[in-house]
């Protein structure tokens, strides 16, 4: 019995499909809104067709995250679709296309803007209608501030209570639900926000790209931006076939940089289903970067230490390092891990 179990467990632990999730992030689905955060309805329809053609299983994000945390299985090739900011075009353009396929999605909203009746943003009635139809409405903070820029004299607890706790309360008042899922405005976070969110039982989603599994940091959950420069279906397709490296939450580094220099990232990755020689890291600002690898034997097996650093300083705003390697066992799949960096020298970023 034991002998039979061991190969089975090994198989489960290296499977790309059963307990991992790729999350796509959109904003506007509209021809007339800013290109950087928009996808046209026609291109969005192409994305949905791509998901269908590739046999992806579109799942409910809240349910999938509950399963991932519990260690339960997900459908093979699970993908979740999310929209930040609750633009009206999600209601008018995206929803009909998603409804036709019976695919659920999640909208992250800033309650203050709904309360102020911004014409570009859905009303509470519209959000309720989406929710009643089986979709999730969750927290994008109260006012869409740069949350890492906490005002002087305001404690972390006061700031997060105002911006996140208060938004969650408004969602509960208006919609009767509290999923405790936050999408960080601009995908920006720091370690002190993470501590607060963890202590208050929130899951929190960024925009730093990568797939999600139980080992992922639950307050730095990556999503793949899929609009603007990322809307190309070919590059999107690559991201659908990604698996998380076995890199635990303790390896997350403070994203907010003290200066614009080149941050050094060191990762320790159990050596499993990839060749060390094929691990390569990239900086969003310059492409492939120096990636040093050393193997180490530990009592839990072999570990690959990866040290990587860009050649040039980080530009103002948000950057990231991505490290990837092809899977040996699953042809066409890639392991993927991303670290966010924020150079705050740019105010509007
Ligand atoms: Zn947003």
Q: pLDDT tens, 37-58?
A: 899 999 999 999 999 999 999 9
Task: For residue 267, report the distance from its CA to the centre of ligand 1, in Å.
Answer: 29
Of 243, 278, 310, the residue at which a domain comes to its end is 243
Is there a domain that residue 9 lies in? no
Q: Are residues 101 and 194 in the same domain?
A: yes
Is there a domain that residue 255 lies in? no
Is there a domain that residue 84 lies in? yes
Task: For residue 185, report the distance from its CA to the centre of ligand 1, in Å.
Answer: 5
Q: Are residues 287 and 220 in the same domain?
A: no
pLDDT of residue 175: 98
Task: For residue 9, report the distance from its CA to the centre of ligand 1, in Å.
Answer: 40
Does the structure show a pLDDT above 90 at 17?
A: no
Task: For residue 122, report the distance from its CA to the centre of ligand 1, in Å.
Answer: 14
Q: Are residues 238 and 189 in the same domain?
A: yes
Task: For residue 345, report the distance from its CA to the centre of ligand 1, in Å.
Answer: 20
Average of pLDDT values for 14-18?
Answer: 51
The secondary structure of residue 164, as a DSSP letter, is I
Question: Is 343 within 8 Å of 260 (Cβ atoms)?
Answer: yes
Is there a domain that residue 60 lies in? yes
Is there a domain that residue 7 lies in? no
Number of folded domains in the chain? Answer: 2
What CATH number is associated with residue 208?
Answer: 3.20.20.370
Residue 315's domain comprises: 264-343
pLDDT tens for each residue of 273-302? 999 999 999 999 999 999 999 999 988 889
Of 243, 274, 290, the residue at which a domain comes to its end is 243
Q: Are residues 138 and 280 in the same domain?
A: no
pLDDT tens for each residue of 82-114? 999 999 999 999 999 999 999 999 999 999 999
Task: For residue 321, report the distance from its CA to the centre of ligand 1, in Å.
Answer: 22
pLDDT of residue 293: 97
Question: Is 107 within 8 Å of 132 (Cβ atoms)?
Answer: no
pLDDT of residue 348: 83
Mean per-residue pLDDT of the chain: 94
The secondary structure of residue 131, as a DSSP letter, is H
Q: Are residues 228 and 277 in the same domain?
A: no
Task: For residue 111, report the distance from its CA to the centre of ligand 1, in Å.
Answer: 12
Count of helices and strands (H, E) across the chain: 11, 18
Task: For residue 143, report the distance from its CA to the centre of ligand 1, in Å.
Answer: 10
Task: For residue 121, report the distance from its CA to the centre of ligand 1, in Å.
Answer: 12
Q: Are residues 175 and 323 in the same domain?
A: no
Task: For residue 84, report the distance from its CA to the centre of ligand 1, in Å.
Answer: 5
Residue 27 tokens, joined: 């904003």
pLDDT of residue 16: 44
Q: Are residues 175 and 209 in the same domain?
A: yes
Task: For residue 328, report the distance from its CA to the centre of ligand 1, in Å.
Answer: 37
pLDDT tens for each residue of 126-174? 999 999 999 999 999 999 999 999 999 999 999 999 999 999 999 999 9
Percent of the chain predicted with pLDDT > 70 = 95
Task: For residue 27, report the distance from its CA to the centre of ligand 1, in Å.
Answer: 7
Q: Are residues 174 and 304 in the same domain?
A: no
pLDDT tens for each residue of 163-207? 999 999 999 999 999 999 999 999 999 999 999 999 999 999 999
Is there a domain that residue 231 lies in? yes
Task: For residue 252, report the distance from its CA to the centre of ligand 1, in Å.
Answer: 23
Question: Is 57 within 8 Å of 113 (Cβ atoms)?
Answer: no
Q: Are residues 88 and 160 in the same domain?
A: yes
What CATH number is associated with residue 309?
Answer: 2.60.40
* DSSP helix/strand/coil, 340: strand
Residue 99 to residue 103: CA distance in whole angstroms: 6
Q: Are residues 227 and 276 in the same domain?
A: no
pLDDT of residue 1: 45
Percent of the chain predicted with pLDDT > 90 = 88
Is there a domain that residue 205 lies in? yes
Does the structure show a pLDDT above 80 at 4?
A: no
Is there a domain that residue 284 lies in? yes
Q: HEC string of 30-82?
A: CCCCCHHHEECHHHHHHHHHHHHHCCCEECCHHHHHHHHHHCCCCCCCEEEEE
pLDDT of residue 346: 84
Of 214, 243, 272, the residue at which a domain comes to its end is 243
Task: For residue 5, report the distance from its CA to the centre of ligand 1, in Å.
Answer: 46
pLDDT of residue 203: 98
Exposed/middle/buried for residue 75 (C-beta within 10 Å: 0-12, 13-18, 19+): middle
Does the structure show a pLDDT above 70 at 238?
A: yes
Rg value, the chain, Cα = 20
Task: For residue 276, report the distance from its CA to the centre of ligand 1, in Å.
Answer: 37
pLDDT of residue 15: 47
pLDDT of residue 172: 98
Distances from the Cα of 139 to the Cαs of 149, 183, 289, 313, in angstroms? 19, 6, 35, 33
**pTM (2 decimals)?**
0.94
Task: For residue 187, report the distance from its CA to the centre of ligand 1, in Å.
Answer: 8
Does the structure show a pLDDT above 70 at 7?
A: no
Q: Are residues 221 and 299 in the same domain?
A: no
CA-based nearest residue to 168, from 206, 204, 133, 218: 204
Q: Are residues 268 and 237 in the same domain?
A: no
């Amino acid at each position: 019995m034991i002998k039979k179990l061991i190969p089975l467990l090994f198989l489960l632990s290296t499977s790309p499909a059963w307990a991992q999730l790729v999350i796509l992030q959109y904003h506007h689905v509209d021809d007339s809104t800013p290109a950087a955060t928009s996808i046209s309805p026609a291109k969005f329809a192409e994305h949905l067709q791509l998901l269908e053609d590739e046999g992806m299983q579109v799942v409910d994000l809240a349910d999938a995250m509950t399963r991932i945390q519990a260690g339960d299985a997900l459908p093979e090739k699970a993908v979740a679709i999310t929209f930040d900011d609750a633009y009206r075009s999600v209601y008018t353009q995206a929803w009909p296309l998603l409804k036709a396929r019976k695919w659920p999605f999640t909208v992250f909203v800033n309650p203050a803007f709904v309360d102020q009746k911004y014409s570009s943003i859905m009303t509470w009635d519209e959000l309720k209608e989406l929710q009643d139809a089986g979709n999730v409405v969750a927290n994008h903070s109260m006012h869409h501030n740069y949350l890492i820029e906490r005002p002087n004299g305001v404690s972390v607890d006061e700031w997060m209570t105002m911006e996140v706790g208060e938004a969650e309360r408004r969602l509960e008042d208006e919609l009767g639900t509290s999923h405790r899922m936050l999408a960080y405005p601009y995908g920006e976070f720091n370690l002190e926000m993470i501590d607060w969110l963890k202590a208050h039982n929130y899951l929190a989603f960024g925009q730093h790209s990568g797939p999600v599994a139980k080992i992922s940091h639950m307050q730095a959950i990556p999503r793949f931006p899929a609009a603007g420069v990322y809307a190309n279906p070919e590059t999107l397709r690559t991201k659908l076939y990604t698996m998380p490296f076995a890199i635990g939450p303790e390896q997350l580094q403070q994203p907010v940089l003290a200066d614009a220099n080149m941050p050094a990232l060191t990762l320790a990755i159990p050596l499993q289903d990839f060749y060390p020689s094929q691990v390569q890291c990239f900086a969003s600002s310059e492409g492939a970067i120096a990636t040093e690898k050393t193997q180490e034997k530990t009592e839990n097996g072999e570990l690959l230490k990866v040290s990587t650093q860009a050649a040039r300083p980080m530009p103002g705003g948000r950057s990231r390092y991505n490290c990837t390697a092809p899977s040996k066992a699953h042809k066409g799949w890639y392991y993927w891990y991303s670290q966010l960096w924020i150079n705050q020298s740019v105010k509007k970023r």
